[in-house]
Amino acid sequence: MKQLFNTRGTTYRTLKLKDLNLDDAQKLSWLCKENMLIKRPVIEYSQDKVLVAFNEEVYKQELL
């Protein structure tokens, strides 16, 4: 959940979610309500692998 939940975006700050000290279930609920809280990009490759957020070194290692 930590990798997927965007704590650096304006939506997170605007909603003041840091003050709520959310657990994973609450974060999931917020992700369903506010899709801008999902870190991007989310890349699904292979049958069981997913990359979340941009990291050039990881992209090179995993996708090239």
* Tens of pLDDT, residues 2-55: 899 999 999 999 999 999 999 999 999 999 999 999 999 999 998 899 999 999
Report whether 7 contacts 18 (CB < 8 A): yes
Distance CA 29, CA 4 (A): 13
- Residue 47 has a pLDDT of 84
Residue 15's closest CA among 1, 5, 4? 5
Helices first, then strands: H and E counts in the chain: 3, 2
Report whether 5 contacts 39 (CB < 8 A): yes
Q: What is the pTM of this model?
A: 0.78
pLDDT(59) > 90? yes
Indicate if the alpha-carbon torsion angle 33, 16, 28, 1 is positive or negative.
positive
